[in-house]
Chains A and B, each alone.
Chain A
């Protein structure tokens, strides 16, 4: 099982290096969003500092959904998934591997850019560590909810907008509690605990639903 998982992750990371930089779509969108937000907010440092964590969370949420359109659809359309299943390999392991590789290639770069984005928007430097912790705790929920929508729409052409429409309402909860956790300013706040609970709930639900959706698409 571990070797199959490693194989999927290795293959996807190799494909990411050959994809002409499509893995960086989310990161580029994130940088542009933050730059334009900084211009839009103007020079008032006090006002910018107050809403900076909310804007970073919003940018991370949107940016992480951008590249989810091809998460499962490529393997479904080129027949790789059929070959994987007919060789009696686990679809569940496949889904977990895809989620992990997406986290590394697409979400991790956005996560690494987040502290710089927060400082650029004028956030108090003391709030940056708690912002990072909130993104680490809530990040899985964002990716897992988006992946679920990606699996449900994997057999549709141009499903990008549909993914956002499906995942959008579900992303409200991690967004609310993520910003709340940063505003609370402490690591063991109620908002942070609820954020962790949403991530754990998504971790249980998303692979199961994604696997079922892909199985239906294979029929």
Chain B
């Protein structure tokens, strides 16, 4: 769990770890079985949830997930993913008609379909109510039980039950 004040560099750190920002030197490795990934070189398959959710506004919830399911090639169960994020009743609605919280939940369903063992999440509790934050904690717990890990930038809304290490980023004053 990465914490810190606004502007302390949480998002920048996560983007570097996800391999989206490659203009930094250094190497980061993490082993899942025989696979390892290096930032900026080969990021491997990462479940990424950033500020931008990766959803198409003109498509329905189920169409968005169907396309990502094909992309991830994991052939996950879309209905189960929607059920887990409590969006079964809105699955046929175009995304542009959904509330910000529902879109965030749909992005979480996309993450579930990715079946990646490493999740990198930037403020996953944004736009979610307390029930939504609780949902994230439950999903993190299940992810942890299946051997996965997550790197999360968050303020105090999310406190997972799974074993958690905390990193606090401090702002460095520059002249």
Q: Is the CB of A82 within 8 A of B20?
A: yes
Give the shortest distance, in Å, between B36 (CB) and chain A (any CB).
13
* Chain B 19-38 interface residues, beta-carbon cutoff 8 Å to A: 19-23
Find chain B residues with CB under 8 A from A3 CB.
Answer: 70, 73
- The CA-CA distance from A219 to B19 in the complex, in Å, is 9
Contact B20 A219 (CB under 8 A): yes
Residue in chain B with minimal CB distance to A81: B54
| Residue from A18, A19, A79, A87 within 8 A of B71 (CB atoms) | A87
Residues of B within 8 A of A85 (CB): 19-20, 43
Residues 63-93 of chain A, each 1 if its beta carbon lies under 8 Å from chain B, else 0: 0000000000000011110111111110000
Min C-beta distance of B18 to chain A, whole Å: 5
Bound complex: CA A79 to CA B106 (Å): 14
Q: A7-B71, A11-B67, A15-B59 are in contact. Are A88 and B44 (CB under 8 A)?
A: yes
Contact check, B54 vs A79: say whether CB atoms are below 8 A apart. Answer: yes
**B50 and A82 within 8 A (CB):** yes
A87 to B44, CA, bound (A): 7
Question: Does A14 sit at the interface, judged by CB under 8 A?
Answer: yes
CB pair B43 A86 closer than 8 Å: yes
Cβ contacts under 8 Å, B53 to chain A: 78-79
CA distance A175 to B71 in the complex (A): 38
Contact present for A86 and B19 (CB under 8 Å): yes
Q: Are B48 and A80 in contact (CB under 8 A)?
A: no
Residue of B nearest to A76 (CB): B52
Contacts of A15 in B (CB 8 A): 56, 58-59
Give the residue of A11, A77, A88 whose beta carbon is less than 8 angstroms from that of B52: A77
The residues of A that contact B50 with a CB separation of less than 8 Å are 79, 82
Chain B contact surface mostly: loop
Please count how many residues in chain B sit with their CB below 8 Å of the partner chain's CB atoms. 35
CB of A104 within 8 Å of the partner chain: no
Interface residues of A in 202-219 (CB under 8 A from B): 218-219
Name the residue of chain A whose CB is nearest to the CB of B18. Answer: A86
A88-B42, A88-B43 given; A7·B67 CB < 8 A: yes
B164 at interface, CB cutoff 8 A: no
Q: Who on chain A is nearest to B118 by CB?
A: A86
Q: Within the complex, what minimum Cβ distance (angstroms) separates B109 from chain A?
A: 13
Contact A219:B21 (CB < 8 A) given known A7-B67, A82-B50:
yes
Residue of A nearest to B52 (CB): A79
Chain A residues within 8 Å of B47, by CB: 86
New A-B pairs, 14, CB < 8 Å, besides A79-B52, A83-B54, A219-B20? A3-B73, A4-B71, A11-B67, A15-B59, A18-B94, A77-B52, A79-B50, A82-B20, A82-B52, A84-B71, A86-B46, A87-B46, A87-B116, A88-B42
**A–B complex contacts, Cβ < 8 Å, 14 sampled:** A4-B71, A15-B56, A78-B54, A79-B54, A80-B54, A83-B48, A84-B71, A85-B20, A86-B19, A86-B20, A87-B45, A87-B72, A88-B45, A218-B20
Which 5 pairs from chain A and chain B are nearest by CB?
Answer: A79-B52, A86-B48, A83-B54, A18-B58, A79-B54
- Seen from chain B, the residues whose Cβ lies within 8 Å of a Cβ on chain A are 18-23, 42-48, 50-59, 63, 67-68, 70-73, 94, 110, 114, 116, 120
